[in-house]
Structure 1
């Protein structure tokens, strides 16, 4: 059962218990008025009121239908006892009305939400009214007002429970609708993130290799270019077979590599670009203890920065400095090349925006770039450790 339905039942049981106990105490208090009933009748009424209170607690604690039926039966007996009193006072009439319209009607709050509960509530209400009409006929009392109060009490509590049940049903349906919308949004977001990651991978590998081929592989040894083309071919095979590209650096730098550790180290980046003709001077750690997603994002962003150095800086050397503290890992990529004006880069150039900034933003990191024409370029990459 859904939690919202459990809360509904808990609320209705509390309403039923409070109503039954309040009705029982109020009816008994009416009988304590002087000369309302004689001593023997008061003793019987006391026992019945106590029994009704116990049945109300049992019914609302365990949801027992048998306890509910017994409560109504005890209330009917109490009506017959009070109606047969030799002294029929307004206090007695009030006690009869409370017993019929409050105490016995309390079970309607819990029964109406059950399967076929409405029919049972109607049956028990009819039984209570029949007991009052029988008492009126046998003891020649006018109990019309008592019957009206009884009918109204049962109707009010039954309608209240049905209204609450309907409200819970509507709320549950809306919650389910919101949940479905949230799930669809989550799946769409994950799909978009995967597509963006695939686009970054293609940009950093296949498109970079095609760019090299378009420039006749200037500065790159034939063997290195052949190895890179083989890696790209395996990557394209993954895409053709529908294998999702993980956010891992395996797909970026060494698809299908058996050396998973090497593929996730900064040394693998240096080796790759050494084959491509870019001499990277390394400062700091070659490996860092980072969660896989953050390490992959940092390695991928670093690789794209070095690719930009190789393609656009006009120099064949770059410096990479890795530092870390308790919270953050930083990688600084510096070259003494041509430099550029960062604000002048058009929005259509998505390499830095997606492969660097987008990667780091996805894991809570950030990238900052410092450059000007003729003064080289420095890029600061940061990712959190946790």
Structure 2
């Protein structure tokens, strides 16, 4: 009787590339977090223009050059319109735009010394007293806290220069204005930082959801076709024996690898979402890695891996050592047990420790053979397994008996 395996599809559905999903870069359209901030700054500029208009009308008689004051006001109106449009476009928000904004604002502030008389500044603040805050807030949003500190200092220097040129005394109004600008700049800059972080996390969550749904769709397709075919080949090959059994064994290994690949893909897509993710950014900075993902790749036809759905973060060195110890245990099974021996690998994430158990259904052995092997110089268990776990501050327990298989339990402190 000739064994003919079922027809296997020529190609598998390809997993989506990360480039096919939306990115969270700054060149993408705003997702709604920063837009209210820029609308609020534009509204603040418009309200400041109305206040400047009231000052000009109310103290028109005290102006040294009314025409210059109206020119400054017209410049403020025009730049408010230009800045409102420019800051509304994400690609235009750059330090060059902030420098132009500050240049126009400082020029309008300095023009006060030519447009106003000393009597005007004794009765009212400069024309740009509140309007200047729009540029200061924009600089704080773009440049952060450093700009939020430097711009108010520049405002104070120009204000003092204007008053000195007009022969006026320096009052407490100038430092009060600087302090208010600093506080407002720091507050708005901090709010913007929080908004940008929330935007990045939201974009990462949307990308993760899209990847997860696509992965689940592909997993269903693979499960309904390829994995079932491989399972049938493995079962029929085992039943027929001979060369068909070898083919069934290979099919079983490929099935296990494909299942592991789907699981690893899901884990790899879940890990980078560091803020709304299971592994925090602090873990990544401290050199921590996911033990569950590392051991998951060991799954095959003979080895079944059971691990928590969430990552199991440990120090990178600890993950490397536990992985090496587990592979040493699997090597012992490969070397001393029959070819049909099954292995179960279990990862348990407890409060203070992480436990990794390797259990097989092989012939087992007398526990005294472990000590005998160490005394004879065969240090596979004593050094490759127990030694590594001991160096991590953990402990290893081995349970075995003839005809009952072997279980190696490795406990590592967090």
The interval holding the TM-score normalised by the smaller chain is 0.3 to 0.5
Q: Under a length normalisation based on structure 1, what TM-score does the superposition of the two structures give? A: 0.45
TM-score normalized with structure 2 length: 0.43
**Structure with more helix by fraction:** 1
Larger Rg: 1
